[in-house]
Amino acid sequence: MPYLPSGFPDGAWLPDVVVELGEVFAAAGFELSLVGGPVRDLFLKRTSGDLDFTTDATPDEILATVEGFADAHWDIGRDFGTIGIRKAGTTLEITTYRAEAYDPSSRKPQVQFGDSLEDDLLRRDFTVNAMALRLPQFELVDPHGGIRDLFARLLRTPATPQESFSDDPLRMMRAARFAAQLGMNVADEVSQAMTEMAPRLEIISAERIQVELVKLINGAHPRTGVDLMVETGLADVVLPEIPALKRLDDEHARHKDVYQHSLQVLEQAADLETDDDGAVPGPDFILRFAALMHDVGKPKTRRFEPGGGVSFRHHDVVGAKMTRKRMQALKFDKNSIKAVSHLVELHMRFYGYGEQDWTDSAVRRYVTDAGDQLERLHRLTRSDVTTRNKKKAARLARAYDDLEDRIAELKEKEELAKIRPHLDGQQIMEILEISPGPQVGKAYKFLLDHRMEHGPVEHDEAVALLKEWAAQNL
């Protein structure tokens, strides 16, 4: 793997295929540059997951140039000037110099091919992504001060922010995403333009917004990204439930700041993610997004009580419905929607444990209701403790330690993850001599409830219980 020349961080390198591709294009008489994120990541000493190139060759010329070099190619992005290839197991994307502009009423870019690298870089989103490495000679091209801004941790745009965000409004979401991923600050003029132009996000497809939101939430500094979205008004378009928490401020301090609490829970949940071989490998979008959304039902359920207190009864149930609706609007897949909304609905289930004795039945139901989200629920519940009262925090931590210990003990004795009724549907029909139908379901539910309440029983006892129940209910 070739190491880069002086001027780059010690040990910075690129895969051989990058240099080989540059030589292929040079031999064919075309310019080729590595561009954007991969160049930025070289200076951050990070390995980039993408290898993007830009060239003066047209899509047809790109295809002709890589013929015989690429192991495979695809042209699904041809209308946008992009050709993808695979070489020695590495995926590369090559795009003709271009300039994109959005029609104010359209979600689709109007593609215009350019004729120089400098013009191409001018149209890119941020200066830190507007750097290129000419190949194969390794010449760095940085006309907009990307390196300076990168080390200053500052997000600026090559053109004016208004021009940049007009070309592609999704870039405003990318600003928040880069703030979350790289811990960067946003230049004042960029923040101002985001605030002025936030409504332009409405023309962007939900699918594209979803991709940026996931990257933001999974970033190293998700709180920073969410806060920037709220402060600039992007969240009013993308995730209005979160700024609504900020508007829940109570000038009489009868309840805590729900917005800041939610951001802290998000941070604490991320801190509780485990290593790649652990129960909840990070970054885990499901856990983090549930942490952010867990209290979104509070604005709709806030009630001022006669004694001066405040209640949020059933905010967990209301919040789960709101979360499901928002994720559907953002076109998330059904499994993600189910997992996040389920965690939001269950996040209050633990409270009260330690103040009252939980029966084995209650513990079984806690585990069974959590299902495959139990490990995430453990972490969400622990993250939801943000009190500054150290005694209260310690008491809740001890109580949850105790609950987890009881779950482990019951799991060992009863295989809680596999809880089923004492008898299955086929056995129920044979014992009661009935056909498939609602009666089987009722009998199944009775046996499952008995299993939850009393634990496992022997087969003969289960048969007797079923017959006794049937004599009174069928």
Q: Could you report the per-residue pLDDT of 302-322, keeping only the tens digit for each?
A: 988 787 778 888 999 999 999
Q: pLDDT confidence of 252, banded at 50, 70, 90?
A: very low
Q: What is the DSSP string of 178-213?
A: HHHHH--EE-HHHHHHHHHHGGGGGGS-HHHHHHHH
Name every residue whose Cβ is closer than 8 Å to that of residue 340 and which is 6 or more positions away in sequence.
286, 289, 290, 293, 323, 327
Cα separation, 186 vs 200, in Å, equals: 19
Question: Has residue 40 got a pLDDT over 50?
Answer: yes
Question: Has residue 85 got a pLDDT over 80?
Answer: yes
**Amino acid residing at 427:** Q
Percent of the chain at pLDDT exceeding 90: 57
Can you tell me the mean pLDDT for 389-399?
86
412, burial (CB in 10 Å: exposed 0-12, middle 13-18, buried 19+): exposed
279 sits in the region (left: phi over 0; alpha: psi -120 to 50; else beta) called: alpha
* Angle value at C-alpha 175, between 38 and 119, nearest 5 degrees: 60
Q: Which residue from 280, 206, 296, 203 is spatially nearest to 243, judged by alpha carbons?
A: 296
Question: Has residue 6 got a pLDDT over 70?
Answer: no
| 16-152, CATH topology level | Beta Polymerase; domain 2 (3.30.460)
**Amino acid residing at 438:** P
Question: How many Cβ atoms are within 10 Å of 270's Cβ, its own excluded?
Answer: 23
Cα separation, 116 vs 31, in Å, equals: 9
- Tell me which of 47-51, 177-181, 420-424 is least confident: 420-424
> Domain coordinates of the chain in residue numbers?
16-152, 239-418, 425-473
Question: How many Cβ atoms are within 10 Å of 19's Cβ, its own excluded?
Answer: 17
pLDDT, tens digit, 9 for 90 and up, residues 425-450: 888 888 888 888 888 888 888 887 78
pLDDT, tens digit, 9 for 90 and up, residues 215-237: 999 999 999 999 999 999 999 99
51, burial (CB in 10 Å: exposed 0-12, middle 13-18, buried 19+): buried
Local structure of residue 29 (DSSP, 8 states): T
The pLDDT assigned to 347 comes to 95
3-state secondary structure of 30: coil
Cα separation, 128 vs 115, in Å, equals: 22
Q: Which residue has the higher pLDDT, 359 or 170?
A: 170
